[in-house]
Structure 1
Amino acid sequence: MSHSLGIVIESLVAVLLLLTIGYCMLLNKRLKRLKADEHSLKATIAELITATEIAERAIGGLKHTVRDVNENLGSQLAAATQMAGHLKGMLAEGDGVIRRLSKIAIAARPSQEAEPAAPRISTAKAVAAAAEAFSERRKASGLAA
């Protein structure tokens, strides 16, 4: 019996050794896969670091561009405000000139009761004709600009 007990124990140890060898082979495969994943992960991390550095440089460039644009836009906005004021003044002057020209045109228009056969001229044509006559009178008197 002691002999059969020894064989059973040795058989059990042999089976356990075979299981250990199988498990070691499985662990070896997993370690190889892990090493391969480690290399690909290192490559991915290196690419990510490179992309981050490029993005940081691009952000720095964008900040510089925004600063330049802000300064340029501020000066252009000030110039535009000044130009708008100038144009507003010129429009007011032009409006005054139009009012005076229309008064001149109304005054220069012949009376319709005196000449009933004369054709009716449109207001725009009358204003243009009066303005032309006014400028001719100014030129003749030496007051033209």
Structure 2
Amino acid sequence: MSHSLGIVIESLVAILLMVTIGYCMLLNKRLKRLKADEHSLKATIAELITATEIAERAIGGLKHTVRDVNENLGTQLTEATDMSAQLKKQLGECDQVVRRLSKITSAARPSTPVAAPEPTPATVSVPAPAPVPSARAVAAAAQAFSERRRSNGLAA
């Protein structure tokens, strides 16, 4: 019996060794797959690092562009404000010129005297404002005035 017990033990050890070898082969396959995944993971990480660097450079460029646009917009806004002030000033001057031309035309019109009643101490009459002439009448009066000034030898 000792002989058969030795064979059983030896057979059991051989079976266990075969199971161990099979398991080692399975682990070897898994390790190879893990190594392959590690290489692809390193490649993916390298691509992510490259993409991150490109994105950082693009963000830096965008910040620079925003700064330039902001400065340019500020300059244009200042210029627009100045131009608006100039236009407002010129419009005021144009109003004054139109008023002067209006006075000139009203002074150049032949006036027909109308008999006005004498004011009594109880009532004071306020003269009615002169009607505003049309643009053509103002232009014609200004033309006539300038021609009169030239014929007298004075430059208008």
Aligned residue for 1:130? 137
Residues 94-138 of structure 1 deviation map (CA, whole Å, 9 limit, x = unaligned): 455566777888997xxxxxxxxxxxxxxxxx7232132133124
Q: Which has the larger helix fraction? A: 1
* TM-score of the superposed pair, with normalisation by structure 1: 0.69
Aligned residue for 1:46? 46
Q: Do residues 69 (structure 1) and 69 (structure 2) align?
A: yes
State the 1:51 CA deviation: 1.3
State the 1:30 CA deviation: 0.9
Task: Identify the structure with bigger relative contact order (alpha carbons < 8 Å, sequence gap 6+).
Answer: 2
User: Which of structure 1's runs of 4+ aligned residues deviate more than 6 A?
Assistant: 99-108
Name the CA distance, whole Å, in 2 between partners of 1:51 and 1:69.
26
State the 1:4 CA deviation: 2.5
% identical aligned pairs:
73
Aligned residue for 1:13? 13
State the 1:33 CA deviation: 0.9
* TM-score of the superposed pair, with normalisation by structure 2: 0.65
Name the CA distance, whole Å, in 2 between partners of 1:137 and 1:63.
64
Residues 56-106 of structure 1 deviation map (CA, whole Å, 9 limit, x = unaligned): 222222222222222222221111111111222233444555667778889
Query: CA RMSD of the aligned region, Å?
Result: 2.9
* Equivalences for residues 86-105 of structure 1 within 5 A: 86-95=86-95
Unaligned residue ranges in structure 2 (runs of 5+): 110-132, 150-154
Moved more, 96-105 or 19-28: 96-105
Structure with bigger gyration radius: 2
Q: 1:29 to 1:99 in 2, by over 3 A?
A: farther
- Count of aligned residue pairs for this structure pair: 128
